[in-house]
Structure 1
Amino acid sequence: MAEGTRHRVLLTEASSNSAREVLTVLGRHGHEVGVMDGGGVSLTACSRWVRRRHRCPRFAADPLRYLDALREVLAGHDYDVLLPTHEQLVALARYREEFGALGAGLAVPSFASVRRVQDKSAAVRLLGELGLPQPETALAADVKELLGHAGRLPVYVKLPVATSSRGVWLAESPERLARVAALPAVRDAFAAGGTVLVQRPVPGPLVMVQALFDGGTLAGIHASARGREGVQGSASAKESVVLPGITRHLARLGAALDWHGPLSADAVLDERSGQVHYVDINPRLVEPVNAELAGADLVRRWLAVSRGEQTGPLPPPTAGVRTHLLFAAILRHAETGRGRRAMLRELVDAATRRGWYADSVEELLPVGSDPAAALLPAAVTACLVVSPGLWRRLAPTAAPAHALTPSGWRRLLEAP
């Protein structure tokens, strides 16, 4: 895709951090952006870069009804590219040929490939087949097998299908493991014939890898390390890193899957050995602003792959680019009960550029170029500073509107 080419781009959802960051990159490059909006809290709500907002059913509630609405939007509007910014990619892969014929450029893999990474049990087997490093992991098919791991604690217990850090629990004692085994979500997974992961922790920082593929060939890659933890296990600070082996690993993974479009992976870096251990694979592109600032050019390349155009050679990786998500840091203080003082200290540090903020760029809320984007986070932050206990009422308990739930996954598997 030639530099300076402008496109009409439709994002498949409006509420995730990834949608907000893709919007930022597209807006800064002059593209005309529409979003599918399933309601609820949205960081894109007041953005000057959203030209059209298409109301639709919540994807989490019913992915098939959501797809019906998406078909209508594509039929009634002239979009050049459709970018699945979250797990809508999974649903679109189920009907890849149909949506690929609706006119908007679209890069999604086959549904058979998606099934090998969307289900965490299948992903563990895939990593093993490819010889890619991962933590010591076992699969449990029922409560008895799960409780049988009480002798190898601590372990993470993971549902086969989960997103946004939900469906993952750390069990550090036999009592905690028993409580996890008794959770309705875990029992439902067993009742549906699924297996849960039992994974030993690996000490070290979390590394987030983002990749883009064109028919199984690596067309873009970027890695960043989590500098500080954010709300619900996310990152509130990142630094781009260059790690040996990651490009080779992801190229092998994408080739084995014949992957087409974005794919991300979370890994833990064992700092003693320098080895990464992959702990999760996500069929989407996650929060690409750090990659954009580091020169990885992922969003432009995604547009090109979606339109069947050449991406050109991979840019050289850049280490040391720091970014932060102030809102995620504020919410983390509320989530952990650190209270008003911690939130105020965070705001002062950001305003005076102290600590991590001394050499870092805000990636989630680009106030300088899209000032209205900060209105909702500013209002929530003010409420939490006045009354930190409000977090218990504001904290989401259900799956976010953009997420694929276990029941939604089963519907896609069973759909004609």
Structure 2
Amino acid sequence: MTKQTGALVTYGWNRVAYNVVRSLAKNNVKVAVGDVSKLAMSRFSRYSESSFKYPSFYQDPAGFIESLIKQQDKHRKSVYLPVHEETFIASRYRSMLEKSGITVPVSSIEILKKLHKKDRLHDTCQNLGLPTPAIVKIESLNNIKSLLADMDYPLVVKDSQTNSAKGVHYIQSEKNAFQELTEIYNASKFSPFLQQYVEGEGYGVSLLMNHGEPRAVFTHKRLREKTHTGGTSTLRVSTKVPLLEEYAIELLSGLNYHGVAMVEFKYNEKTGQAYIIDVNPRFWGSLSLAIQSGVDFPYLLYKMAVDGDVPAVVSYKEGVKVKWLLGDVLTLFSEIKHTGKFIAPLRSYVSSNSDGFDDLYYDDPLPFIFQSAYYLKKFLTTMSVNPTQDALLDIDTV
């Protein structure tokens, strides 16, 4: 039987944190949720016992850790579940947190780097014999022309560190390719590289691992994404693809991974060819789909942190569709802007039914209202549905 103890959850403005809070509270875990803003959506949830404000982990990681320790001293919340890139900070300072009585179920920072950094993920997959697109590193501006001479189009250009399609670019043809790639290279915060373009549908395999052993596995197919270049899915469906699940388990087992992660694939349904594209070594945007399909990752992770292990979850409902409601509205605007068309995107949006939402629950409506206000503020500030400011952490400097 699980020994009940409170939990800390961070990144409270985000719907992923909100679903973590809901999951824990529905299992009688008292949750304190934190964020840099007092207007974070999770603070206004009926499922949040208390809330706190912390300094930006992008700008003041040490201060961020100190604020977590203060919450432990104040409220005795002895399990910490980071949600987004603060996972890297928590991993780096894990020994300090554990000395203060806070258990953090995450992998070491070195293992996280092997998955989060795109070039290192490529090398890791190759070492384990797992399929992943070929990459070519851009050493300097001087070798861009020679690189382009041997390339097929479209070209995929990625920063070595990305999230939610931030730092991912597509060059559609040879015309103006040199200029486009030069601009991307000069603007990049991280070392960009060229990645082989592969055909296929977007799939994700989410896992809970206990020191290299799988405890829960869940697969979804992406039906719609927030921007035309990819990123967070706004509509997806639960499914099963044994090949993808096998690859994902091999990857994380090969690293003795601990905690939750989501492995992204491009999967050609006609040929059966699959490629590992990316890994989120943390919680992921479509988390609520797994929960609503029967795999309660947040509570399973919490139980594993408290009890040391959990029984394996081997089944869930297939065919469940869940939508990020606000994100899907943003997707509609992005599609209209990108294509210059209105009727076709609107018809697609209206006709896509779902069984539930990431961000709107009728028993708890306030978080959706505050989420909408937050995104409206961001959009008016940046005029982008996918702003990058303060949204990419350099894992090498953590």
Cα distance per residue 1:316-354 (max 9 Å; x no partner): 2542111111211111122344599779958994xxxxx
Letter in 2 for 1:117: L
1:67-82 residue pairs with structure 2 within 5 A?
A: 67-82=65-80
Residue 182, structure 1, aligned to residue 176, structure 2:
no
CA-to-aligned-CA distance 1:168-199 (integer Å, 9 cap, x gap):
1111134245323323665553xxxx4x3311
Question: What is the percent sequence identity of the aligned residues?
Answer: 20
SS of the counterpart of 2:257?
coil
Match of 1:88 among 86, 89, 95: 86
The reply on whether 1:323 has 2:315 as its aligned counterpart is no
Question: What secondary structure sits across from 1:246 in the alignment?
Answer: helix
**Counterpart for residue 360 of structure 2:** 366
TM-score scaled by length of structure 1: 0.84
Contact 2:19-2:287 at 8 Å conserved across structures: yes
Q: What is the DSSP-based 3-state SS (H/G/I as helix, E as strand, rest coil) of the residue aligned with 2:241?
A: coil
Q: What is aligned with 2:173?
A: 173
Q: 1:154 to 1:410 in 2, by over 3 A?
A: same
2:223 touches 2:237 (CA, 8 Å); kept in 1? yes
How far apart in 1 are the matches of 2:32 and 2:374? Answer: 25
- Higher mean C-alpha displacement, 271-280 vs 121-130: 271-280
1:195-274, aligned counterparts within 5 Å?
196-231=192-227, 233-274=231-272
User: Matched residues in 1 for 2:146 and 2:32: separation?
Assistant: 50
Q: Which one is further off, 370-379 or 199-208?
A: 370-379
Change beyond 3 A, Cα 1:153–1:147: farther
Q: Which residue identity lines up with residue 290 of structure 1 in the other structure?
A: L
Counterpart of 1:141 in 2: which secondary structure? coil
CA RMSD of aligned residues (A): 3.0
Equivalent position SS for 1:397: coil
1:109-128 residue pairs with structure 2 within 5 A? 109-128=107-126
Residue of structure 1 in register with 2:156 after alignment:
156
Gaps of 5+ in 2: none
Cα displacement (A) at 1:258: 1.5
Equivalent in 402, 405, 411 of residue 393 of structure 2: 405
Shift of the alpha carbon at 1:242? 0.4
How far does residue 394 in structure 1 lie from its aligned partner after superposition?
A: 6.3
Q: Confirm or deny: 8 A CA contact 1:12 1:85 kept in the other structure.
A: yes
CA distance in 2, matches of 1:20, 1:176: 41
Inter-partner Cα distance in structure 2 for 1:226 and 1:180: 28
Q: Deviations over 1:71-127 (max 9, x none)?
A: 332333300311011121211211222222322332111122122122211111001
Deviation at 1:252, TM superposition (A): 1.7
The code of the aligned residue for 1:295 comes to: G
Alpha-carbon deviations, 1:117-161, whole Å to 9, x = none?
222111110011111111232222223344433232212111112
Pair 1:396–1:411, CA change in 2 (3 A): same
1:184–1:379: structure 2 CA closer, same or farther, 3 Å change rule? same
CA contact under 8 A between 1:147 and 1:178: conserved in structure 2?
A: no
Deviation of residue 44 (structure 1)?
A: 2.0
Instruction: Specify the SS of the correspondent of 1:201.
Output: coil
Aligned-partner SS, 2:164: coil
CA distance in 2, matches of 1:376, 1:128: 44
* Cα distance in 1, alignment partners of residues 125 and 211 from structure 2: 20
Q: CA distance change for structure 1 residues 306 and 343 in 2, over 3 Å: closer, same or farther?
A: farther
User: SS of the residue aligned with 1:18?
Assistant: helix
Q: Do the aligned partners of 1:24 and 1:366 also contact (CA within 8 Å) in 2?
A: no
How far apart, CA to CA, are the structure 2 residues paired with 1:380 and 1:13?
13
- Indicate conservation of the 8 Å contact 2:6/2:29, yes or no: yes
Residue 139 (1) aligns with residue 137 (2)? yes
Q: Distance in 1 between matches of 2:232 and 2:84?
A: 15
| 3-state secondary structure, aligned to 2:131 | coil
1:101 to 1:373, Cα distance in 2 relative to 1, 3 A: same
Whole-angstrom CA distance in 2 between matches of 1:303 and 1:142: 45
Number of corresponding residues: 389
SS at match of 1:375: helix
Q: Distance in 2 between matches of 1:120 and 1:204?
A: 19
> C-alpha distance in 2, partners of 1:344/1:187?
31
Give 1:329's aligned amino acid: D
The separation in 2 between residues aligned to 1:40 and 1:142, in whole angstroms, is 43
Contact 2:5 2:29 in 1 (8 A): yes
SS of corresponding position for 2:300: helix
Verify the 8 A CA contact 1:106 1:306 in the aligned structure 2.
yes
Shift of 1:28: 3.1
Residues 17-36 of structure 1 deviation map (CA, whole Å, 9 limit, x = unaligned): 32122223223333222112
Distance 1:375 1:328 in 2: 13
Amino acid at match of 2:182: A
Contact 1:157 1:170 in 2 (8 A): yes
Give the corresponding residue for 1:332: 331
Distance in 1 between residues matched to 2:211 and 2:374, nearest whole Å: 43
Q: Take 1:348 and 1:261, find their aligned partners in 2: how far apart are those partners? A: 35
Task: Output the CA distance in 2 between the equivalents of 1:44 and 1:207.
Answer: 28
1:44-55 matched pairs, under 5 angstroms = 44-55=42-53
Distance in 2 between residues matched to 1:176 and 1:60, nearest whole Å: 33
User: If the length of structure 2 is used for normalisation, what is the TM-score?
Assistant: 0.87
Contact 1:365 1:373 in 2 (8 A): yes
